[in-house]
Amino acid sequence: MLKMLIMGPAGSGKGTMSDLIAQNYPVAHISSGDMFRDEIKHQTLLGKKAQSYITQGLLVPDDVTIAMVKNRLQKDDCQQGYLLDGFPRSLAQAKAIEDLGINMVLNLTIDEQLLVDRIVYRRLCKDCGAIYNIKLNPIADNEVCQKCGGHLHQRDDDTYEKLMVRLNSYREETQPVIDFYRNKNIVHDIDAGQAVEDVYKQISKVLTEKSEEITE
């Protein structure tokens, strides 16, 4: 049974790759953000606890987050395998879930300048949600959606300054998590700077090999 984590900085393609993996392998894609929203929406005990911190602008404590994750992994859709996306974010969280027996970590690596180009030059249509990149895939008018004619805008957190804050936070908090799992020899580095299909080919290769190893 595949018990996986997918890790990588903002803009490395975790969401896209997670969706492709879930479509082709018997694993449930568990996004920490979606999990929080679901618990809060249904006003579960853990959801109420999390919301009490979030509404105060505080980070949700590890014990609440960890309990939420473990509770989510008990659901039926996780019994054949799962892929955690966005968790663990810290070494303390990684150590707290050692009993889960994580057996694979997909680490998406990407050149920082390419990451900047992907994020800072990303534009979204306010009307239809189409996504463009005005540097990597130039269009005729940087302010007009080619699909519906809507206005293109830059998300507030897609600026260079905010990206640097997120990258620095990732290095400080998440790199120790990767090192922790690397010492267990379960980290697979994936070059995420390529086209989507090429990145997924790398991932599919390691997943197929791991699946065969588990079933032997």
* Residues recognised as catalytic: 14, 89, 122, 155, 166
The CA distance from 50 to 60, in Å, is 6
Please give the Cα distance from 35 to 87 (Å, whole number).
Answer: 11
Q: CA 46 → CA 13, 53, 66, 93, 216, distances in Å?
A: 29, 11, 10, 17, 39
Residue 184 CB neighbour total at 10 angstroms: 11
78: CB partners within 8 A, 6+ apart: 28, 30, 72
Residues with Cβ within 8 Å of 130's Cβ and at least 6 positions away in sequence, in order, are 124, 145, 146, 147, 148, 150
The β-bridge relationship of strands 187-191 and 104-109 is parallel
Place of tokens 């027996």: 101
Q: Which letter, b or e, does each residue of 143-170 get, where b requires 16 or more Cβ atoms within 10 Å of its Cβ?
A: eebeeeebebeeeeebeeeebeeebeeb
- The encoded tokens of residue 182 equal 């690397």
Task: Give the single-character DSSP code of 59.
Answer: P
